[in-house]
Amino acid sequence: KALEAACALNDEERAWLAGVLEKLKLSARAYHRVLRVALTLADLQGEPKPSQPHFIEAIGYRQLDRLLKGA
């Protein structure tokens, strides 16, 4: 809950992210990891909350992690 509150997702962002994660067959645990990474990326750029590019980058890292673990 605190992580979701920190990300301050609106309904549209939440629906977009849920759709992407469902399409990629990522778990609820992966959802929270994506939120955490996106929040970190936003923080590193000095932004108060993550935006769609942060989520895209975080999902990319998650996919790369899956690819490397499968190799």
> What is the reported pLDDT for 70?
75
Position 27, amino acid = S
Residue identified by tokens 């673990």 is 69
Integer-rounded Cα Rg, in Å, for the chain is 12
Give the tens place of pLDDT for each residue, 22-67: 999 999 899 999 999 999 999 999 999 999 999 999 999 999 888 8
CA distance 50 to 14: 12
| Residue 19 clears pLDDT 80, i.e. is over it | yes
Contacts of 6-12 spanning 24+ positions with Cβ under 8 A: 6/39, 6/49, 7/35, 7/38, 7/39, 7/49, 7/50, 8/49
* Structural domain span for residue 33: 2-70
Q: What would the mean pLDDT of 10-19 be, rounded to a whole number? A: 94
Quickly state the pLDDT bin for 71 (edges 50, 70, 90).
low
CA distance 21 to 37: 14
Q: Count how many domains the chain has.
A: 1
pTM: 0.86
